[in-house]
Amino acid sequence: MDIRKVKKLIELLEESGIAEIEIKEGEESVRISRMPTGQYAPQMPSYAAPHAAIPGPTHEAPTTNPKGHKTDDYMVLAPMVGTYYSAASPVAKAFVQLGDEVKVGQVLCIIEAMKMMNQIETDRAGRITAIMLRNGDPVEFDQALFAIQ
């Protein structure tokens, strides 16, 4: 695909306010997204959106999370589809472990989407009471990642 076409698509995306576009021409395809992205690097950008985590019920009976645990904890949800990684590299220590105390803005994990590494931060302080995935697991949009008490 011609680079001029790609540049024009980027301009159209910015002008329209659309978050993502994918175009296929024969066997060639290009996908352009406005979502912040990064790589495995110290200055990796973070992805934290208001919808990335929702509180559990407050005055209702506890609900059951995807792993079958009863919880009324704050659930951190995946803001995108991708692959879950618990650490910055295969040999690095996990960002968080069960029982860890976390602060607002702390990195919890990385979700790889379209070969881009996106740090997922918490917008709630507390203690990690559940980690729903294992390193390398596929992640769906709005899938529960962590429970924070």
Please write the tens of the pLDDT for every residue from 17-31.
667 777 777 777 777
Q: Across residues 27-51, what is the average pLDDT? A: 54
- Spatial neighbors of 59 by CB under 8 A, at least 6 apart, are none
- Are 110 and 97 spatial neighbours (Cβ–Cβ below 8 Å)? no
Q: At CB < 8 A and 24+ separation, what contacts does 20-28 make?
A: 25/1, 28/1
Same domain, 66 and 100: yes
Q: pTM here?
A: 0.55
> What pLDDT score does 99 carry?
94
Same domain, 29 and 43: no
Same domain, 95 and 53: yes
Sign of the Cα pseudo-torsion (60, 66, 68, 73, in order) = negative
Same domain, 54 and 65: yes
**What are residue 12's phi and psi, to 5 degrees?**
-60, -40
Share the mean pLDDT of the chain: 76
Selected residue with higher pLDDT from 100 and 46 = 100
> Residue 40 sits in a domain of what CATH number?
2.40.50.100
Same domain, 108 and 131: yes
Same domain, 72 and 128: yes
pLDDT for 3 beyond 70: yes
What is the C-alpha R_g of the chain? 18
Q: Across residues 22-51, what is the average pLDDT? A: 58
> Residue 119 corresponds to which tokens in the numbers above?
């740090």
Task: Report residue 35's pLDDT band, with 50, 70 and 90 as the boundaries.
Answer: low
Number of domains in the chain: 2
Domain ranges, residue 18: 1-34
Lowest mean pLDDT among 54-63, 108-117, 122-131: 54-63
pLDDT tens-digit readout, 52-82: 444 443 333 344 445 545 558 899 999 999 9
pLDDT tens-digit readout, 91-100: 899 999 999 9
First to last CA, the chain: 49
With b for 16 or more beta-carbon neighbours within 10 A and e for fewer, the 59-79 pattern comes to eeeeeebeeeeebbbbbbbbb
